[in-house]
Structure 1
Amino acid sequence: MTAIEILFWASAFLVVYAYVGYGAVLFVLVKLKRIFFGKNELDESEVFEPEVALVIPAYNEKDYVGEKVANSFALDYPKEKLKIIFVTDGSDDGTPDALRKYDGIAVLHEPERRGKIAAINRIMPTIQAPITIFTDANAMLSPQTVRMIVRHYRDAKVGAVAGEKRIRRQAEERASGAGEGIYWKYESLLKKWDSDLHSVVGAAGELFSIRTELYAPVEKNAILDDFMISLRIAKNGYKVAYEPEAYAEELPSENVKEELKRKVRICAGGIQSIVWLKELLNPFKYGILSFQYVSHRVLRWTLAPLALVLLIPLNLQLMLEFGGLYAVIFALQLLFYLMAVPGWILEQRHLRVKLFFVPYYFFIMNLAVFLGFFRYLKGRQSVLWERSVRAKA
């Protein structure tokens, strides 16, 4: 086998493993764990209702806070044990005043805008509840969210619990919505299996929780604060559990341009997180957590997109030299990327054919990795980001 063939098959393996293979490996490992060690069952024989702080960062969210307040009040949990806290630092659109009209919530506000993580670092020392749940102002929670999350904290080994992110379906779903929805369904499945095997590797800011005592201030220039908070808790030996019955629903990005903007920020933050969490790359120290972290996160933000690019010229050269199987693989690669073109065209015309949305969204996701990487190198990704425009309900 020539050096080019070795590089081609290594790249192909990396791509398949990062996007599909890891899920298959997880599935098998979880099945084996259940066969040899049984299924972990939560002990719910006694009522468990600790005090909870629901922390909602809200920067210029005046259009959403009314619905968010109503959604928070509708949560099925004892009102005297649930403290709802909105943090509105920097908001200048009337968000704090709109919130102060409601009884039963706390509004913490400072006029200076220093970013979400600076606001969270500021208010966390004031939290007295043993459990803190973080959620976004434009994400609507399921009624059982708090109960489903806190039950995991019966286990002293659990330091954080990640909820599920869901994308609201729309009658006429654009490529951004269809692709985003499919992506998060797959991500949710991987998180469930990650949790069953050992620990979730990174929570989404739309909905996650921690033991308040485990919170450590995050660097003020952190891009993915939610990811850093949850991974550092896992790094310190605690499990990050996953609870699919606690979910946050939000509308998809208005269009793929807005979704790309969001993904580029996430990928820039991903590179930053890999640098900051470099110790987690050591499997001799962190064992299965390192395996999950590298397989689920690191490869997607680094080597897998690079391997995708390498596959095209490598495959072309091997096809011209050997034909046969390499010709078939090249044709399949070409077909997949060509299918992204009608996906882009349909996106402009507001039409919905998911057959084309998947390759289009996949292309956008990997394009975002390269753009995010260069943005990180240039230091151009500010924590004071403008959130992506969401589609109308």
Structure 2
Amino acid sequence: MTELAFSIFWLGVLIIFYTYLGYGFIISLIAKFVKRKHYEVLSDKDLPEITVLIAAYNEQDYIVDKIENTLSLDYPSEKLSVVFVTDGSSDSTPEIIRQYPNVTLYHEPQRKGKIHAVNRVMRFITTPIVIFSDANTFLNKEALKNIVRHYQDEKVGGVAGEKRIFKKTEDNASGAGEGLYWKYESFLKRKDSEVYSVVGAAGELFSVRTALYEEPGENIIIEDFYMSLSICSKGYRFIYEPNAYATETASASVKEEWKRKVRICAGAFQAMVKLGYLLNPFKYGMLSFQYISHRVLRWTLAPLALPFIFISNLWLAMQYNPFYITASLGQIAFYALAFIGYFVSNKKVSIKGFFVPYYFCVMNFSVYAGFVRFLKGKQSVVWEKSRRAAVSA
């Protein structure tokens, strides 16, 4: 029994270490030996025509700022088409958009979900490049030009921008945890891109060659992730561009972040089933390695390993081994901090690292809830979006 516990403990530790730290070290090391051609920003006369496509559902609180932000971006107006699709919106979002003559609006009263709305509108897009952005995010002025420059490489099928969380001096568990998570996630995406390709774009800001767009099934939950990897599977690279970024506030509370995470995890299991062919490294090589290391393990073996590590550690500690006693006390302290974090999760705290244990647990436990939802088939593509925190909060 002790030998089994020993094996389970160290295998679990290896999985957790590799998933959250080891892969980052390895991909950073590989990146040092890979040289990619650098493409400069094109002059205005050489820039291609592009479309910025924004799907918005009941975004009346953000929509004016989003329109103004998009129209103020540094890109020739004669080469920029701004398109909104507001299917199902029951507030004043469509009416507000109609007040802007240089913005195209597509609207249907029936609500069938974001991917249905995007698929419907993509049939009318004629520009060679389309850039997707969420209605509650705001782009930096140079975002479009920094994205477009990568398409000078014919093997680039898409470009992912960077997601940033609005930083506050004091934050709750959601804001602090989400901000730290995305900083590390952005680091991994930069290294993935330098080595070969990003393995999954974030819907806040990404782009594709219009000719490569294939309508995802209208039951796809995380269409941005699925779409970007489908393009990669055809031999194209997805580049990460940190100088094109979308900023948004964190979820209003951990409850709202939990809702968002569970939905993403349910969609992740759905996508992993549909993208099962990418698990073949003999066919997809580096893409498979990145996909498994960066995504699959985080949604499967890593969360599964946590309870096994804890239980096996307790058993080994009962054998009066000083190392395992210390390790078990460390785990107990970590989860105790997470438990305390639960009770103060919506308080404003300036020490953001305080919320790391709690956010880590939320992130991993949401995988279990997402898996159950996936098995039951209860996650609809028509979902109520999570509330975001106010900027001034």
Query: Partner of 2:163 in structure 1?
Result: 165
Given that 2:50 and 2:130 are in contact with CA atoms closer than 8 Å, whether structure 1 keeps it comes out as: yes
Query: Partner of 1:255 in structure 2?
Result: 253
Q: Please list every run of at least 4 consecutive aligned residues from structure 1 whose deviation after the TM superposition is greater than 4 angstroms.
A: 43-47
Shift of residue 342 of structure 1?
2.9
Whole-angstrom distance in 2 between the partners of 1:46 and 1:91? 38
Shift of residue 346 of structure 1?
2.8
1:58-97 correspondence runs (5 A): 58-97=56-95
Unmatched runs of 5 consecutive residues or more in structure 1: none
Query: Partner of 2:3 in structure 1?
Result: 2
Match of 1:98, SS state, is: helix
CA RMSD of aligned residues (A): 1.3
Given that 1:164 and 1:243 are in contact with CA atoms closer than 8 Å, whether structure 2 keeps it comes out as: yes
Deviations 1:75-125, CA, capped at 9 Å, x for gaps: 000001010000001111121111101121000011111000011111111
Given that 2:41 and 2:145 are in contact with CA atoms closer than 8 Å, whether structure 1 keeps it comes out as: no
What is the percent sequence identity of the aligned residues?
Answer: 51
1:48-197 correspondence runs (5 A): 48-197=46-195
Question: 2:37 aligned with 1:40, yes or no?
Answer: yes
State the TM-score, normalized to the length of structure 2. Answer: 0.96
Match of 1:2, SS state, is: helix
Query: Partner of 2:22 in structure 1?
Result: 21
Given that 2:171 and 2:352 are in contact with CA atoms closer than 8 Å, whether structure 1 keeps it comes out as: no
Whole-angstrom distance in 2 between the partners of 1:315 and 1:337? 14
Match of 2:344, SS state, is: helix
Structure 1 residues 46 and 78: alpha-carbon distance in aligned structure 2, compared to 1, 3 A threshold: closer
Given that 1:68 and 1:140 are in contact with CA atoms closer than 8 Å, whether structure 2 keeps it comes out as: yes
Give the aligned residue type for 2:7: I
Question: 2:220 aligned with 1:222, yes or no?
Answer: yes
Given that 2:74 and 2:144 are in contact with CA atoms closer than 8 Å, whether structure 1 keeps it comes out as: yes
Give the aligned residue type for 1:305: P
Deviations 1:286-342, CA, capped at 9 Å, x for gaps: 011000000000001111000011111111111112512211211111111111133
Give the aligned residue type for 2:279: L
Worse-matched range after superposition: 337-346 or 305-314: 337-346
Structure 1 residues 134 and 220: alpha-carbon distance in aligned structure 2, compared to 1, 3 A threshold: same
Shift of residue 171 of structure 1?
4.0
Shift of residue 2 of structure 1?
2.0
Given that 1:165 and 1:248 are in contact with CA atoms closer than 8 Å, whether structure 2 keeps it comes out as: yes
Match of 1:107, SS state, is: strand
Structure 1 residues 390 and 287: alpha-carbon distance in aligned structure 2, compared to 1, 3 A threshold: same
Whole-angstrom distance in 2 between the partners of 1:182 and 1:342? 19
State the TM-score, normalized to the length of structure 1. Answer: 0.96
